[in-house]
Amino acid sequence: MTTTDLTPILQRLDTIAAQVAYVAERQRKQEELFEEMMPIAREAMAAAIARLDQLDKDGTLAFAGELVDVGKKIVEAFSPDDVRQLGDAVVGILDTVRSLTQPEVLHVAADAAAAMQDADDVKPMGIFGMVRATRNDDVQKGMALMVEMLRRVGHGVSELAARRDRSERNKDKLAAMLGPSKRRRGV
């Protein structure tokens, strides 16, 4: 063999040697990075474990697990449209909750609940007994409140019925404009 025959082999060996040197250098840099990162990773891991332990001890993780279960129940029970409608109503719901949780309202609710718990001790009353009871200022005020509540509930029900009637009329108009549907035509 001549040196001209060995030239391609030597060139190939030089290329392989350069590649091995490159791989060795990369390996060295990775080892350096690993050595530098290991203490940082240990500290981060220790901090994460301590925080998770604290969250477990104070019940936060159990609470979060229960919230996940509640979320699953919501997903199973409600459609995305239901959730969107709930989102639209959240402000009204929170306003109602805020009104119901005012101290004076809670006091009245507690008194009403106590009366319900004592219901077994209450003696039946006839029509004349009820008329006599209306002489009491508290009874009169309670009756006035009940009548006002019934008036507002009745007004709300009337508005809801009117809204539904308008909606049905609009649907009927739209159906009349669009013509019979494919289902009605039997297609």
pLDDT band per the 50, 70, 90 thresholds, residue 86: confident
Query: pLDDT tens digits, residue range 95-145?
Result: 989 998 999 999 988 988 998 888 888 888 999 999 999 999 999 999 999
Q: How far is CA 94 from CA 51, 62, 65, 105, in A?
A: 33, 26, 25, 15
Cβ count within 10 A of residue 150:
10
CA atoms of 66 and 78, how far apart (whole Å): 18
User: Any idea where the domains of the chain sit in the sequence?
Assistant: 12-77, 79-122, 123-180
Residue 61's pLDDT is: 93
Residue 184's pLDDT is: 52
Q: Any residues with CB less than 8 A from the CB of 109 and at least 6 apart, and which?
A: 100
Give the residue with greater pLDDT, 184 vs 150.
150
Residue 181's pLDDT is: 60
